[in-house]
Structure 1
Amino acid sequence: MFGFILWLIGGWSHGEALAVVDDALLAAFSLTATVFAGLAARSAHGRIRVAWTALAIGLAGWVVGEIIWTYYEAVAHQDPFPSLADAGFLLFPVGACAALLLFPDDYSNLSLGRVLLDGLIVAGSLFLISWVTVLGRVHETDTYNNLDFVVSLAYPVSDVVVLTVAAMVLVRAKTSQRMILTLLTVGIACIAVADSAFVYLGSSENYSSGDTVDIGWAAGFLLITVAGAAGRVSGPAEEEPDELPGWASIWLPYAPLLLAALVTAAEPPGALKSGPVLLVALLLVAGVMVRQFLAVNENRKLLVKLADQARRDPLTGLANRTLLYERFEHAMRLRERDQISVGVMSLDLNDFKLVNDTFGHHAGDELLHLVAGRLASCVRATDTVARLGGDEFVILVEGNADAVHVVANRVAAAFDDPFLVDGRELVILPSIGLATADPDEPDLSVDELLRRSDVAMYAAKRSRSRGVQIFTPRLQSLRIDNEEPRRALARSPIVTGANQLELLGELRRAISRSELCLVYQPQIDLRTSQIVATEALVRWDHPRRGPLGAEEFLPLVRRYGLMGPLNDFVVNRALDDAQRWQEASVALPVGVNLFAPPLANLELPGVIAEGLADRGLGAGILTVEITEHLLLDNLEPMRTVLDQLRQDGVRIALDDFGSGYSALSQLCDLPVDQLKLDRDFIAPIVTDERTADVVHAVVDFAHALGLSIVAEGVEDAETEAQLRAYGCDLAQGYFYSEPLTCQELLDQLKTPTSTGSS
């Protein structure tokens, strides 16, 4: 290439030899560019492959044109201009223009009108430059006939078009394509300058093959060859984030416009009055004015958009804290003026951190977006849904008290269906607190109303109750403490960070669909060796993990507020089975384990009494079992409930006694009828004399208090014999029977020899 340039500048050859060598080298340069464009097309994909193919076709046309030109000049010895060669040459700007338009660009942030106006201003400016430098001369010459003039005009006009497209594409090119497009644009510009110089020299019959003008074509093809080589090694186009328009994009129309003004200013005033110069100049002025109008209009829209974005949460599109407070202030003013209520709900997602930890923050963001959509669908146009950060949402409701509660119930119901996050169905429940500002509280501030809704929300979170927690003054004294369920959750063997959220959703569905089951551990009277009672044990037949004992999923139940539904299921199923036994003429007391917080529910005794009455069962058929640590830690809140249950005839048993650190003296104050000694307390009595003495003392002490004793986890005859010697009343364990289904236990009870150790 450099040798070719030096050869042309040095004039080391003349005449026909110069023309033949020049034509052959230009054909070789253009053919090389064609080959590399084809190779780039072969290695590319999608639109980029089509773009390189279009460029290769345009270059191939130029090669054919150069071959025809050489034939006319070297073989036929005829003037090759105009001829069929021009058809091949003019195919190049068509292919180049198509290729440039097919390369990925970044027009997403610009309006179509803005892009078209920029193109019009650039094209008009380049046309003025071309007219003053080349086209005007061609227009005034007498050398060309009509065909010559049309063909001569086609070169600079097509070059103006392709240069305009190149400039528009380059300044808005994707980052990954910018280097390749720069090489192509500079190469096309070199060819365009050479075309214009060719037409200019041809108008005065001063062009011949081997002129220094040919350097422009050679340089252009070299740059296109390099671009093709770069396109061949680059990978497939990747998605890139939208970028703000750069300074080159902003100043694009004005640079050629300024150059056109300088070029035309250098011309004599009279020369500008002929031809289309004045018309194009007027069009340019109009185009610039319209462009400025569009720019001002777009700026105004952007200001409005920015003002709205400043009041919106970027992730969900909901109102942010700023907009919420503005709406709040407005709502409170309307409350004073129109004497209406203002309700505010504070809401957060109980298991949101678990979603982030298990599936990643992208899943958490997806969940927040889905929650925002559901919340927005629950409210009216006059209400406001805001996200304050993390998983914290606030809903502002205006209107009468009934409207506030209707919206609140609608919001709670919106979480009944699972969320599809990252291809998984997740059951996510919220904690919702509601506070209402009624017209009779004129001095209530926005901050105080928000604080009340937060207090109610934390009360809902503490109780893990579904539905909406309404603020009352007594809620302010509640203490949030979920550490024990968290520790229990960490100890659960099947609950890990990777599966606990999925397992939680399955557990919720299993409880709501009554897919759990009860099995019964017989309790044996040590004096008669007969089955006299039974303990209900909850099991979950998991579809993938198989049968799961309560100890494997109770940590999830405690941690995620499922104790209420689980207790309801256990009590109702146990009473159903007790009714079935009674109808079979077998009256067998059944014990059920109940847990906090339902045990602090003052309505529990009434619910149990109703369940017994509906089934025609006496109260003595049911024993409520409570774990030692639960009763000792929460005795006062539960004493009223337990006293009422005992008054109704339901027996109370203290389960797992000996697993904690309670003092025997505390038994005097406990509202219980039965003491169940923990299996870890019973197991060593045959081999450990001190433990045996303690168990013996506990049995005697319990009997002195009027309590019956049940020994859990009896595994052998020696342990049974020793417990019988101590005066223990009842025993249960695998020595007597494994847990049985309702029907299996009934069959065993009907067997005349239904004894424990037999």
Structure 2
Amino acid sequence: MTKAAWMGVGAVAVGALFALSLMQQWGGYPTSSAVAEFGLLTLALFACACSALAAWTARDRQRRAWICLAVGLAGWAVGEVLWIVYSRVHDQPPFPSLADLGYLLFPIGAGLAMVLFPAGYSRHSRTRFVLDGVIVAGALFEICWVFVLRPVYNMGGTDVVELALSLTYPLADIAIITVALLVLTRARTGRRQTLALLTAGVLMMAVSDTAFVYLTAHGIYRSGYLSDIGWAAAFLTFSVAALISRSAPQTEVVVPPLPSPLTTWMPYIPITIAALVCIPTYLPTPGLGPIFLSSALLMGAVMARQFVVVRQNQQLLKMVADQAMRDTLTGLANRDLFNDRLMHAVQVHENDNQSVAVLSMDLDDFKLVNDSLGHPAGDALLVQAAERLLGCVRTSDTVARVGGDEFAVLMEGLPELCRLVAHRVVAAFEEPFVIDGQQLLMRPSVGLAVASAANPDLSADMLLKQADVAMYSAKRSKSGGLHTYTPDMALADPHEFELPTDSSEKSERGAAVRLLGELRHAVDHGDLTVYYQPKFDLRTGDVVGVEALVRWPHPKRGMLGPSHFLPLVRKRGLMRAVTDIVLTQALDDAAEWHSIGIGVPIAVNVFAPSLGDLDLPTHIASELAARNLSPEDLTIEITEDFLLDNIDRTRSVLERLRQRGIRIAIDDFGSGYSALRYLRELAIDEVKLDRHFIAPIRADARAAAVVRGVVDLAHVLGVTTVAEGVENVETAERLREFGCEVVQGFYYSPPVSAAAMMNMLASGRTNRASRLGLQLDAKPLQAPAVARSS
């Protein structure tokens, strides 16, 4: 059981014992009288102490409210002490007496306390509060007059003070009840339980006060009467309310709630009851019958008309409030509503240890959609994205659009279920969007932050920030998908992830964003393929190796060479995924060739940052072993124009690769600025001279001298030289004169498919077969295949 439940059980037990002792008159009248007097004093002091404790832990208005209630209860306790003194000195305590001054301090303190509890009302709300109070108080006065006050007034006699005091108790109770009911109907969720208990306590005090006045007016009241049970129950209720309030959240809700139906109709309920009480009482009075009937009809018509107006206003307010809390484009919750529900969920998490999670998501390259296709297309994309999100979440989850293309999802419950929803969100964006008849594949970057029972002190702002950090981590990875927050994540600069374009034409930018989406789809589904360019020995003309080059068989544009899509691959962080595709396909083809006895070494470009991965040698070795390939059958090529950030770490990885028997080559040597440094510091087996580096050697003596010098240097270092892009016989002859060992290029053969490469190896063709090799089953490209995969 919770602490609140135990307090409730204890209060009921004490109240039941007190009531039973009075009803059974245990020990006779002297005993029951003493139990009533000293029991009420003890309970009043206990309620006062609980209120003071609540004031100590509360803040601002709530603290002042509990102080006022504690003062009122202390006044009542002082009055009870004086009453006990009078009852022990006099056989019948006098009325009125000084004890009444203490008792009357309670309605003052309690009334101020109830007024102080609500917070944040506008001037219009306060005016309505006062008017509702007048209506309710007037109706309650009429009801009380018929049943209690009129008999007391008629029996008042000549003692004006006694009559005034007799009427003061019920009138003060009416005022407190009015305030308590109005405050309760306007209470916010976090305070409603406390205020409900306080209101119940005020009602019980009012019942006992009224009974006391009625019994005193008839001269039959004495201590231990059953009416004392109401006071005891009230004090116990005040005590429970004060203790419960200490665990209630202190944070005020930012968004003001709409008036509840009870708030709207509550003033009219006592009016109706008052009419039902007064009409039968005064209708028989001569001459008043027609007036009462017509007045009742008029009041009913006015109230009926008011009901219609109020209901229409309520519907209008609800519609306006809903629109204010919703995103106008997608219909999702907006940032204000999301933050409000997030604060409430975190409060529940703090109190009940219930897990809460926040998912943060935005669409990759959405800015490019707006720039290329226009904002209407961007809006249509956001609407469709919102629909997909709603299709992934549970009915209890809150989906919000918190920015341009930024969305957030609030989830409560088991962390495993929240992660399942997050994975569904990522999967929902696998299918392309249809915008203006065009298919766009837009991937999201999704971050998830979970506040479990292990971190109960996590604030709403911190949880949302963690989700954003995880989302930017997913975006920084360039592969998107779902990233769950971990403490080592660093917040990335959002501007880092914009895809720039040099074209000023919207049609070209639109083609770029469509191509990017199609490329991501091809990478994710393994739709890229590998072509092979053979490498020939200049001395024998034999094929001594092949280089694996990536191609994209586009469903509409045909076979695309690297120059058409590698810039996007590099810019969007897809190089690692593309490298994995090329490596897997190349090793599969090499294994097939070796199985029929025509295998040759195969070269694969590796994304330069991958060379900082210390697990790379083990991974490649396992891939070779899985296909029964020898390490000598693979050459890893490093693109020289991509400067390696950590040369020491790279050196370690390359040495581990060479220790396993895998060859290392520098690709495109001469296209960058660090070639000589690489030759000096890295373990290299092969240098591939860039096509632009060797092209001028036919006509430029200086260029020829540089190439000869590089070849000679390579020989001194024990490194094999491979010339790329050889397109004519003159270049081939000069390279042979310089001592270059291996060549490749269109003069010998363009890149060909795996099947064509296998046929070439099987037939044993060489460059001596002249340029007939250009016709070998090679599918035409849109541009010469001069660029190659990293």
TM range (shorter): 0.5 to 0.7
Q: Which runs of 5+ in 2 are unaligned?
A: 1-296, 771-790
Residue 441 of structure 1 and its aligned partner are, at CA, apart by 3.1
Tell me the distance in 1 between the aligned counterparts of 2:691 and 2:758.
26
1:664 matched residue in structure 2: 676
Tell me the distance in 1 between the aligned counterparts of 2:634 and 2:569.
23
Residue 725 of structure 1 and its aligned partner are, at CA, apart by 2.6
Residue 693 of structure 1 and its aligned partner are, at CA, apart by 2.1
1:318 matched residue in structure 2: 332
One-letter code aligned to 1:585 = G
One-letter code aligned to 1:381 = T
Residue 290 of structure 1 and its aligned partner are, at CA, apart by 6.4
2:654/2:682 contact within 8 Å kept: no
Tell me the distance in 1 between the aligned counterparts of 2:666 and 2:470.
33
Match of 1:726 among 731, 734, 738: 738
Match of 2:549 among 500, 517, 537: 537
2:372/2:508 contact within 8 Å kept: no
Tell me the distance in 1 between the aligned counterparts of 2:393 and 2:303.
46
2:392/2:428 contact within 8 Å kept: yes
* 1:411-444 deviation line (CA, Å, top 9, x unaligned): 1111122222222222110111222233333443
One-letter code aligned to 1:468 = L
Tell me the distance in 1 between the aligned counterparts of 2:494 and 2:618.
28
Residue 532 of structure 1 and its aligned partner are, at CA, apart by 0.2
One-letter code aligned to 1:568 = D
Residue 369 of structure 1 and its aligned partner are, at CA, apart by 1.1
Tell me the distance in 1 between the aligned counterparts of 2:503 and 2:646.
23
Matched, 1:342 2:356: yes
One-letter code aligned to 1:359 = L
1:306 matched residue in structure 2: 320
1:357/1:497 contact within 8 Å kept: yes
2:433/2:442 contact within 8 Å kept: yes
Matches within 5 A, 1:557-596: 557-595=569-607
Match of 2:724 among 712, 733, 742: 712
Match of 1:333 among 339, 347, 350: 347
Tell me the distance in 2 between the aligned counterparts of 1:495 and 1:727.
50
* 1:560-614 deviation line (CA, Å, top 9, x unaligned): 4433442232112111211121122112111122336655556544443333222
Q: CA-atom RMSD, angstroms?
A: 3.2
Residue 387 of structure 1 and its aligned partner are, at CA, apart by 1.1
Tell me the distance in 1 between the aligned counterparts of 2:374 and 2:752.
43
Residue 376 of structure 1 and its aligned partner are, at CA, apart by 2.0
1:575/1:615 contact within 8 Å kept: yes
One-letter code aligned to 1:506 = E
Distance change >3 Å, CA 286–CA 419, structure 1 → 2: farther
**SS of residue in 1 equivalent to 2:431:** coil
Q: Following superposition, which runs of at least 4 residues in structure 1 exceed 6 angstroms of deviation?
A: 283-291, 477-481, 491-495
Tell me the distance in 2 between the aligned counterparts of 1:413 and 1:637.
36
Match of 1:700 among 685, 691, 712: 712
Match of 2:438 among 424, 430, 441: 424
1:500 matched residue in structure 2: 512
Tell me the distance in 1 between the aligned counterparts of 2:479 and 2:418.
20
* 1:386-421 deviation line (CA, Å, top 9, x unaligned): 211110112222223322322221211111222222
Matches within 5 A, 1:142-541: 293-476=307-490, 486=499, 490=502, 496-541=508-553
**SS of residue in 1 equivalent to 2:563:** helix
2:473/2:491 contact within 8 Å kept: no
Residue 682 of structure 1 and its aligned partner are, at CA, apart by 0.8
Matched, 1:555 2:567: yes
1:609 matched residue in structure 2: 621
Matched, 1:749 2:761: yes
2:787 matched residue in structure 1: none
Residue 653 of structure 1 and its aligned partner are, at CA, apart by 2.1
One-letter code aligned to 1:710 = V
One-letter code aligned to 1:571 = L
Distance change >3 Å, CA 460–CA 330, structure 1 → 2: same
Tell me the distance in 2 between the aligned counterparts of 1:640 and 1:430.
36
**SS of residue in 2 equivalent to 1:700:** helix
Matched, 1:739 2:734: no
TM-score (norm 2): 0.55
Residue 517 of structure 1 and its aligned partner are, at CA, apart by 2.7
Greater displacement, 435-444 / 464-473 = 435-444
One-letter code aligned to 1:418 = P
2:353/2:456 contact within 8 Å kept: no
Aligned-pair identity (%): 51
Tell me the distance in 1 between the aligned counterparts of 2:537 and 2:473.
45
Residue 718 of structure 1 and its aligned partner are, at CA, apart by 2.4
Tell me the distance in 1 between the aligned counterparts of 2:590 and 2:390.
48
1:320/1:387 contact within 8 Å kept: yes
One-letter code aligned to 1:589 = P
Match of 1:681 among 693, 704, 711: 693
* 1:74-108 deviation line (CA, Å, top 9, x unaligned): xxxxxxxxxxxxxxxxxxxxxxxxxxxxxxxxxxx
**SS of residue in 1 equivalent to 2:508:** coil
Distance change >3 Å, CA 502–CA 445, structure 1 → 2: same
1:492/1:552 contact within 8 Å kept: no
Distance change >3 Å, CA 291–CA 710, structure 1 → 2: farther
TM-score (norm 1): 0.57
Residue 496 of structure 1 and its aligned partner are, at CA, apart by 2.5
Aligned length: 474
Tell me the distance in 2 between the aligned counterparts of 1:732 and 1:555.
24
1:103 matched residue in structure 2: none
2:608/2:639 contact within 8 Å kept: no
Q: Which runs of 5+ in 1 are unaligned?
A: 1-282
2:377/2:435 contact within 8 Å kept: yes
Greater displacement, 287-296 / 459-468 = 287-296
1:530/1:756 contact within 8 Å kept: no
Match of 1:654 among 636, 648, 666: 666
1:482/1:559 contact within 8 Å kept: no
Distance change >3 Å, CA 352–CA 296, structure 1 → 2: same
Distance change >3 Å, CA 286–CA 635, structure 1 → 2: farther
**SS of residue in 1 equivalent to 2:666:** strand
Matches within 5 A, 1:23-34: none
Match of 1:622 among 634, 639, 646: 634
Residue 471 of structure 1 and its aligned partner are, at CA, apart by 2.2
Residue 681 of structure 1 and its aligned partner are, at CA, apart by 0.6
Distance change >3 Å, CA 664–CA 456, structure 1 → 2: same
Tell me the distance in 1 between the aligned counterparts of 2:737 and 2:322.
82
